[in-house]
Amino acid sequence: MINRINSDTLVLFNEPFTSCTSVDSLTMSLELICYLKLLGVRGLWVTHIHVLADQCDILNKLLEQGSKLISLAVGVEEGDDKLLYPNYKVCRVKPQHSSFALDALQRNGIDWL
């Protein structure tokens, strides 16, 4: 399939390489993202590996040709209870390095820590 990808291709990845270690997943993700960038491919890469978003500016400088890499994240808002709630607004920002999973548990009555 990778041999058929070109600049007219749209790729969508949702947590690729989840069966790998975090280091292997990061390494393979960076390799594939660079390859796709150089081909001019457009797409979305959904991941919990926030360090990938930290690499966007560096990769754009190192690999000037091809598609520009940007980071998108879903926003959160603090509720009256001081917990964070997703607002489902996709913004062009770096991730906040938290999935806010603890907030989700607390909102649902699970607070054992």
Per-residue pLDDT, 113: 62
Spans of all domains in the chain: 1-66, 72-113
Long-range (24+ apart) CB contacts under 8 A made by 52-56 are 52/26, 53/94, 53/95, 54/94, 55/30
**Pair 67, 42: CB distance under 8 Å:** yes
**pTM of the complete model:** 0.77
How do residues 6-61 score in pLDDT, each as one tens digit?
999 999 999 999 899 999 999 999 999 999 999 999 999 998 888 898 899 999 99
CA–CA dist 13, 43 (Å, integer): 8
How do residues 60-104 score in pLDDT, each as one tens digit?
999 999 889 999 988 888 889 888 888 889 999 888 767 777 777
Contacts of 81 (CB under 8 A, 6+ apart): 107
